[in-house]
Structure 1
Amino acid sequence: MGASATMLFKAHTRRVLARPKTVFPIVLFFLLLIYLVQKRDIYRAGTHAAVEVVEVDIGEQPVPGAQREEKLLRELRGKFEQESKALEKDPRAFAIFGNTLETLVEQDIRSRPQEDNLTPSNNGTEFTNEQPFVFNPYPKYNNAAWKARHAEYVPCRGPTGSLVEDIRVFKGRPRNFPDPGFGSYEDLGLDQNLCFERETRMGQYGVSPVMGEDGKPLEWDTIDWGTLQRECRELNEARFATSGPPNIYVTAADEKKVKTNNDDSQNFKRHMDHHVRRQAGSSGPSVTNTTSTVKEPRTALLLRSYTGKEYTDNDKQAIRSLITELNLRTGGEYEVFLFVHVRDDSDIWSSKEAYQQVVQTAAPREFWNITVLWNGKAVDRMYTKLPDKARRVHNGQFLPVQMFMQEHREFEFVWNWEMDSRVTGHHYDVLNKLSEFAKKQPRKGLWERNERFYVPGFYGDYDKKFRSAVERSTSGSTIWGAPEVSVVKPIGPNPPVPSPDQDKYEWGVGEDADLITLAPMFNPINSNWVMRNQVWGYRNQDFPWGKLPRRATIITQVRVSRRLLDIMHVEDLRGNHVASEMVTQTTALLHGLKAVFTPMPVFFDRPWDGAALARWFNGGPKGASGGFGSAMGWGQEERYQGSTWYYRALPPQRLYNNWMGYEDTAIGGATWEADHGRPCLPAMILHPIKEIKPTPPGWVTESKLPYK
């Protein structure tokens, strides 16, 4: 209470205490004064306090008292453990492990376009009698249809000096391999009857010996992947825009903040400018564009890393495959960057020499010229209205990505890519299918579909049965455009009709998604997810704490549009921020932008049926994945331990170890393969993958939960 208010209160008290009939007015006055002071203090807490208020969904799923809540969560955990333990005895349990080329079935079941991607290889293999096929999932470059809309595609050379070659695959799927518990190959347009084996999939990236043009083994340290990417893009520069529009959402006041946030943030900009100029240097002829063609969008893939990381051979092989399949083979449609967080106090901004010295210690030599450094100092100087906790990488993972986009305007999209994820299938095939699926999604019911795992064994097909089921369960509560939030001025388009009932699933079809995620965008309120209340800003006197609509996705491997990154940048300049796993999803929601959870296939090591998966993962209000008892909540994450996509999952490491020829949990390794055959896997995105290297005999991968 302020001094003047205190004196006023004491004087008034002295006057009325002599009058015994005024007790009731005294009490009223005292309560009113306390209320006004508390309201003032709450508002003055400003943007530097994290929201700690839980919103209760009254009438549908009230949050019980703390003790009762914990009791219910323990009971849920115990029931899941009981069901999971029982499924271990099922003969179908652990069928995702130990599958090889010797058990392939359904080799000729695929669509005609999928068959057109396959050409018999001229070379067989020593480890199987199965016929390998060259896999080409790329557009039909330079045919008549292509030339009608695009400038000419020019093929690029790879590290050996020859034109890039496509990988090889095998037709079929292992006999005992289960269907995905979540997601769908068919709905994404992926061929589920292809099997990828390590040598035919990754051999040209170093899994097998690679020979240069001189016939000698290739020395990878002599390769400059930055130059290869630049030269490839220059050959195809008629296809792409060399620059992009400015950030139109930055106001004059925002610009003033940026200009005054000098030193390290401006040094980051100067080094970005140098990187852009270095990439823009000419090294050869290019094809001239024509007036009838359109510029193709480009995507940057930021591979997240940090100083002090030790790169395994497999890490390097994975990076080479990303660059080759996404950049060199496409003529520059993608560009891969090693995006390195400088964790120590190195003064990387003092000079180009200091910057380059850190590059050379932080990255393998072959990747020096694709490496971009960032540090906390640059982020701090750019986003001064955010508190320290919000700017740290745990909560602010996308802040340097936003800064990257402000300087690299030539990219329309950015993939934020985790170093510890792996794609067993073909990178371009998988990412292109995710993008196409997202583009064709209508906005009607989209946020409601985004909130749920797609369980094909429970819902049926995606476009009809799943969509209808979600619409029935959420009737009358469909999000239609941006929600009305007084602290946000949405930048997205207004709905074409007042009500979603008037739309025939047309709005949004053909619109590129501003956000693509690989897991549901759940409502974290009441979910017991540990980061649910990490909110800064987004409030004023009329919009109190805890009321901000939020969405979150576990694992930050997402594709983000330039438009979404631009408005995220502006919100952070103004002091509005949420945790890393919420920021892309929540900003897209608040601004009415198109966000799509793509139903990537996810497998389980136990034979859960569709009804059980829906119950354990979509058990929230109206069948959503959030809410009380959510699988994302603290103490409930054991549900993911047997899956192929979650940061505490066990199967990814086991599967990948075996796939690379290493023993894990009594499967894999040279002796095992001699008896059973070479492991192969369908196209999957696995996470987490840590430190892939030869394992000792008897090795068993473990994944321990922190709450056990």
Structure 2
Amino acid sequence: MAKYERLPGGGENGRGSSSAFASLKGKWRSPSPGSDRLRFLRLSPLRLLIIIATILFGVALLAGGKYKPRVGSTYAGSMDDDDIVEPDRSDRGPQFTWQNFNRLNGYYNGVRKLIPVSEWVPENPLNETQEIAKDLFGKAKRSLINLNTPNTDPPMEPVVFSPYPDYESYEYLSQHRPVEKCYLDANDKIAAPDIYAYPGIPEGMTTNTFGSPAEIGFDTNVCFDRFGRFVPYGYGYYPVEGGLGLGNRSEKGGVDKIFDKSGKIDYRGINWGDAQKKCFEKNKLRFENSTTDDQGKAMDTPKKKVSRTAYVLRTWTGNKYDEHQIMTIRAMINELSLKSGGEYDIHFLVHVKDDSIPIWASDEVYRETLEANVPEEFWGMATLWSEKLMELYYPDPFPDNVVNMAGAPIHGVYRSAHFALQWFAQQHQEYDFFWNWEMDVRLSGHYYEFHNKISDWAREQPRKGLWERSSRFYIPEVHGAWANFTETVERESKQAGITPIWGPVEFPATDMLDSPPEVHPPRRYQDDDYEWGVGEDADLIVFDPIFDPERSNWVFRLDVTGYNLSLPVPPRRCAIITIGRLSKRLLNLMHEETWAMRHTMFPEMWPPSVALHHGLKAVYAPHPVFFDRDWPLEYADQIFNHPETDFDSVFGWGEHNFLGTSFYYNSGFSGALWRRFLGQRENNEGGMYEEGSGTGRMCLRNTLFHPIKHEHGSTD
């Protein structure tokens, strides 16, 4: 049995725990890495009694949770016992319906089975390709492996993958200033490298359940293997050559073609901070309002100003940067900053966990602390902060807390991870947007494609019905095209009597900031033809639905501070996992609400709730999310989008449903799948022997993985 399927509770690395059972064990995982948020809850006897009663009620609900088809459902999801691929259950805790679904194996088919996307037949949906699956994914027998057998090359050639605009085209230069080429070294000898993809997809590859890469705008005609993805950053060759020493014990069919195209970059002595600053200086006119040319003459057509974005990596003192993490960070800097001509700046926001270190009293201590906790190649990109600084920046009192379930102080990163980002944004008003990024997130594809396509997609979303659409998971095989999904959500919301959100939300309050004038609707909701908001950059982009915590059993839904307790608790919204993009406008409002009004909430609630209160544009981006099991899609729609009661919400007691997904805070499948992508053995499967005797190394589309708690495993 896969370790991440073990319920309740879970082992190390956060695997295998639903939120209910995590609370029972006295622990709750932080959405902010390194914040030590896996701490014991501080409970009064009364609160402990309430929690125990709630847990008993929740367990009773879980034990009785069966699939009931909704009205209009065309598939009840029944299956024969002979069709269920299940391991020994002797060591399991409580059983859930999803654990009985067929396992999906198409992810592990490799580059030797590449085919054009036009010929692709997905392994799922349920049971429709079982015979194909049996033929393609029979488990390799180690005893039959001949280690002297030469590797078989993929049937396709790797190609450069470049999602950037054609910076040298007439179309681009007619609207923008030219992009100056950026380099890794001080002498402009080592050009920012390209990455490589295969122009196809492995036969029988599993398709995503949630989201749509095509809707977002990702290139769906390619897939990425670990060599094409990471050779440009030191993967696959030894430290004496300037590499990282990773991937040398690995299936390598066709890898020589990638090395022939990419070469080997000697990363010894590379200073990424200097390279990033030099790239910006070369291109800084792109980020200014341009009315004159380089000779000072007025231009007939002024050039468009390009937005700048800070990409903030939330890290901490004591974090261990192994070779895999260094490889990932190099990819971020190269793909987001250098290859784009400075559109992004990558920053390390380092939490100094020991408040006794006098980093604010001595420049030398500050420097020593930074250099001891960040790899040398990234020294020029780091900013230190501490909880004591937050106490000075946002001084007490913070009165009128509704419920402090964590029992933790308001300035601690556990309850206010957003304070540091707000502070950082105030120091860097030169940026239009800020990506808040955790250290345990990985991406199988290209960072620029992922972030820019999502940002572009969010910009084109109309405000009408946006909050309602953003509260649901988009399941293309159930909802059809995005336009149909939009109509479905509109119809179901109306039938349910839900008043749509249209501009700033009014609610009883005695002390609220004024909302910006531009966020007030230009017309009535019923008079808008999905026009308002199109072309407007999103103030908040998140990767899980923006749900109403009042209609869930999420444990921190009432961690609200600073509002008048004699009035109803303000309306709130929440998005689990704090990674996402925040606009300067949103962060400035969050800052003002915090210091001037003493308002704040639990980190997952605070940005969406400020956006809700002040009429900002908030978007859940339907990025592709994969499942380890072949869920009946109507059943998935019911469980994730249509819980029968608030207590059935997947955000809370029902979070066990995410264990087998590629993206959530408690997912176990995400780490398992990622390590298999890296060529490692996981749950006694995969690794060099199976890849070498089978279909080769994995090749995945552009996919976001969270959480990745470790990347160490055997390749044998």
In which range does the TM-score fall when normalised by the shorter chain? 0.7 to 0.9
Q: Which amino acid aligns with 2:467?
A: W
Alpha-carbon distance between aligned partners in 2 of 1:212 and 1:148, rounded to the nearest angstrom: 41
Contact map agreement 1:535 1:577 (CA 8 A) in 2: yes
> Please, which of 416, 420, 437 is the counterpart of residue 436 of structure 2?
416
Spell out the pairing of 1:394-543 with structure 2 (5 A cutoff). Answer: 394-462=414-482, 464-475=483-494, 477-485=499-507, 486=509, 487-488=511-512, 489-491=514-516, 493-539=518-564, 543=567
1:184 equivalent to 2:212? Answer yes
Alpha-carbon distance between aligned partners in 1 of 2:697 and 2:528, rounded to the nearest angstrom: 51
Contact map agreement 2:182 2:191 (CA 8 A) in 1: yes
Distance 1:200 1:492, change over 3 A: farther
Partner residue in 1 for 2:673 = 655
Contact map agreement 1:238 1:289 (CA 8 A) in 2: no
Distance 1:109 1:193, change over 3 A: farther
1:166 equivalent to 2:194? Answer yes
Alpha-carbon distance between aligned partners in 1 of 2:712 and 2:449, rounded to the nearest angstrom: 27
Spell out the pairing of 1:58-457 with structure 2 (5 A cutoff). Answer: 69-70=57-58, 73-75=61-63, 81-87=95-101, 90=102, 93-107=103-117, 127-159=153-185, 161-209=189-237, 220-241=267-288, 291=299, 292-344=302-354, 345-385=356-396, 387=398, 389-457=409-477
Alpha-carbon distance between aligned partners in 2 of 1:217 and 1:191, rounded to the nearest angstrom: 27
Contact map agreement 2:520 2:615 (CA 8 A) in 1: no
Distance 1:101 1:323, change over 3 A: same
Partner residue in 2 for 1:563 = 585
Distance 1:165 1:407, change over 3 A: same
Tell me by how many angstroms 1:105 deviates.
2.6
Partner residue in 2 for 1:278 = none
> Could you say what secondary structure the match of 2:417 adopts?
coil
1:588 equivalent to 2:599? Answer no
Distance 1:151 1:218, change over 3 A: closer
Q: Which amino acid aligns with 2:461?
A: Q
Distance 1:685 1:288, change over 3 A: farther
> Please, which of 672, 679, 682 is the counterpart of residue 664 of structure 1?
682
Distance 1:658 1:413, change over 3 A: same
> Could you say what secondary structure the match of 1:580 adopts?
coil
Aligned length: 565
Distance 1:612 1:216, change over 3 A: closer
Tell me by how many angstroms 1:103 deviates.
1.9
Distance 1:683 1:492, change over 3 A: farther
Alpha-carbon distance between aligned partners in 1 of 2:647 and 2:298, rounded to the nearest angstrom: 57
Q: Which has the higher helix share?
A: 1
Alpha-carbon distance between aligned partners in 2 of 1:389 and 1:442, rounded to the nearest angstrom: 39
> Could you say what secondary structure the match of 2:452 adopts?
helix
Contact map agreement 2:113 2:154 (CA 8 A) in 1: no
Partner residue in 1 for 2:572 = 550
RMSD after superposition: 2.8
Alpha-carbon distance between aligned partners in 2 of 1:355 and 1:513, rounded to the nearest angstrom: 36
Tell me by how many angstroms 1:185 deviates.
1.1
Alpha-carbon distance between aligned partners in 2 of 1:241 and 1:598, rounded to the nearest angstrom: 29
Distance 1:517 1:492, change over 3 A: farther
Larger mean CA deviation between 483-492 and 532-541 belongs to 483-492
Partner residue in 2 for 1:687 = 706
Distance 1:505 1:287, change over 3 A: farther
Larger mean CA deviation between 203-212 and 522-531 belongs to 203-212
Tell me by how many angstroms 1:74 deviates.
2.6
1:557-594 Cα shifts (integer Å, max 9, x gaps): 11000000000001110210011011111110111000
Percent identity for Structure 1 against Structure 2: 35
Q: Which amino acid aligns with 1:684?
A: T
Alpha-carbon distance between aligned partners in 2 of 1:330 and 1:289, rounded to the nearest angstrom: 27
Contact map agreement 2:519 2:616 (CA 8 A) in 1: no
Distance 1:82 1:535, change over 3 A: closer
Contact map agreement 1:337 1:371 (CA 8 A) in 2: yes
Tell me by how many angstroms 1:458 deviates.
1.5
Q: Which amino acid aligns with 1:156?
A: C
Distance 1:381 1:465, change over 3 A: same
Tell me by how many angstroms 1:648 deviates.
1.3
> Could you say what secondary structure the match of 2:435 adopts?
strand
Q: Which amino acid aligns with 1:310?
A: K
Tell me by how many angstroms 1:637 deviates.
1.3
Contact map agreement 2:193 2:334 (CA 8 A) in 1: no
Tell me the TM-score normalised to structure 1 length: 0.75
Tell me by how many angstroms 1:67 deviates.
9.0
1:244-267 Cα shifts (integer Å, max 9, x gaps): xxxxxxxxxxxxxxxxxxxxxxxx
Contact map agreement 1:444 1:507 (CA 8 A) in 2: yes
Tell me by how many angstroms 1:655 deviates.
1.5
1:514-566 Cα shifts (integer Å, max 9, x gaps): 0000110011114111111110012265x34xx21111111111100000000
1:50-99 Cα shifts (integer Å, max 9, x gaps): 9xxxxxxxxxxxxxx96995365333557694422321xx3xx2224412
Alpha-carbon distance between aligned partners in 2 of 1:212 and 1:290, rounded to the nearest angstrom: 48
> Could you say what secondary structure the match of 2:346 adopts?
strand
Tell me the TM-score normalised to structure 2 length: 0.75
> Could you say what secondary structure the match of 1:302 adopts?
strand
Distance 1:84 1:161, change over 3 A: same
Alpha-carbon distance between aligned partners in 1 of 2:615 and 2:578, rounded to the nearest angstrom: 20
Q: Which amino acid aligns with 1:353?
A: E
Alpha-carbon distance between aligned partners in 1 of 2:271 and 2:453, rounded to the nearest angstrom: 29
Tell me by how many angstroms 1:209 deviates.
2.9
Larger mean CA deviation between 378-387 and 443-452 belongs to 378-387
Contact map agreement 1:523 1:627 (CA 8 A) in 2: no
